[in-house]
Structure 1
Amino acid sequence: MSVSSRHEDGYASVAASSDLAVTVDQAQYDDNAGPCLEALEANYPAAVPDIAATNSWPSFRDTAARLGLRTSLSIPLFTGSGTTIAALNLYSRQTRALSTLTGAVWAAYDPDFAEFWDRDALDPGGRELTAGLIAAVALRTMMQQAMSVLASTDETSTSRAYQALCTRATDGATSLTAAAAQVIEEHRA
């Protein structure tokens, strides 16, 4: 497991459970390509169910396979504004070890995928991760909707709309979530 983030003009592993994860991450940084960078840049999970069979990222594939890894899953991590700032990278030496979790993660990002995963098949840690991710993605969607309303109403950028939303929350002594809900509710009225 590792966490990748943008760093200066490139990328860095800001946390890792082992040197193995750092080595696989570094192969992706050196090649400027791989699932962790895809998740970080595309704002969507990047799953590699069979590392040996992937042709998309040769440096990642070769390094990971040499180290005995068989599958990986990279999940984007984002701020309150919805900006992806890091990717959580999970690696396994067991071929199907991440398949159930991958389905659950995809369901968090795509409601149409929700019917294809089995919550009961996840271990307790997988359930907790998935529940948190589902809540975070829903919150991000609400925040982006509120920022879009503010940006169109005030004819401003989404970054300024986020600042306005933060100001609204501070001035109203409320949470950012409550301020976003209020903006959406006012817009619907």
Structure 2
Amino acid sequence: MQDQQAPDAQLVAADIQDLLLDTPDVEAFLTELARHSAAMLSSPGARVFCGVTVLRHRSAATVASSDERALMLDELQYQFAEGPCLTAASKGVQVHIPDLERDNTWPEYTEVAARNGIRSVLALPFDLPDDTAKAGLNLYSETVNGFDQAAVQRASDYVQQASKGLRLAVLIAQQSQTAANLRAAMTSRTVIDVATGIIIAQNRCSQAEAMEILKKASSNRNVKLRDVAQAIVDSAGGGPVATHFT
């Protein structure tokens, strides 16, 4: 059995890597992941719908879905504030409902989902670090027992591989944001330094005194220091200031 599953795991890992390389950010990665998940876990005559739930600051949102139907099914849970996907994401447990019409765990949600043609649900948590958001992969089927034991295992293996890709995507996004923040800070510093130089030239004062003049102007006008500095540069005919990175 292990020999049969190994090629599938390798194929999934390769697919996840391709998704990471082909998408520009985390949101796009998750959207492609939802579509890929639905395609991978569907079978002829048994279509699977997929959504990705993310929990941040106790609020839930579907950040990606394979289609509008999956999005609607996810958002039903948010309306009722309960359901298999919310439980999977918040508690980090797998939730499998083979037949919604025979399950009374979340009666309001299951009744509406069944009315919309869904008969079985499988929700699995992503394995993410504690300091990041909690998330889950939500799978819906129109057939009773749409996820047999083999399908559940395959989905579990899939989410394990996808979690690695998601962790990497989040890490890349965090690094990119840190770099962007650093560039913005350095750009602001450049404008302030240029404005300080103009004040020194105009007032024949020291750098410390020039900075005090800038800070007082910023405080008196209730305007950000960078904006005051840019106004001084503009009034001196300097125009936009560029920071050069090597």
Assess if the C-alpha contact under 8 Å between 2:90 and 2:135 holds in 1. no
Matches of 1:131 and 1:12 in 2, distance apart? Answer: 22
Give 4+ residue runs of structure 1 displaced > 4 Å after superposition. 81-84, 134-137
Q: 1:77-106 deviations in whole A, cap 9, x for unaligned? A: 1224586621100000121221224652xx
Q: 1:81 to 1:6 in 2, by over 3 A?
A: closer
* Greater radius of gyration (CA): 2
Query: Aligned-pair distance for 1:68?
Result: 0.7
> Partner residue of 2:160?
133
Assess if the C-alpha contact under 8 Å between 1:77 and 1:84 holds in 2. no
Matches of 1:19 and 1:82 in 2, distance apart? Answer: 30
Q: Output the TM-score relative to the length of structure 2.
A: 0.41
Structure 1 gaps, min length 5: 105-125, 138-189
Alignment partner for residue 30 of structure 1, among 79, 86, 89? 79
> Partner residue of 2:138?
89
Amino acid at match of 2:61: A
Amino acid at match of 2:100: I
Query: Aligned-pair distance for 1:24?
Result: 1.4
Assess if the C-alpha contact under 8 Å between 2:137 and 2:159 holds in 1. no
Identity %: 30
Is 1:50 matched up with 2:99?
A: yes
Q: Which has the higher strand share?
A: 1
Matches of 2:110 and 2:76 in 1, distance apart? Answer: 9
Structure 2 gaps, min length 5: 1-49, 165-246
Query: Aligned-pair distance for 1:34?
Result: 0.2
Q: 1:85 to 1:64 in 2, by over 3 A?
A: same
Total equivalences in the alignment: 116
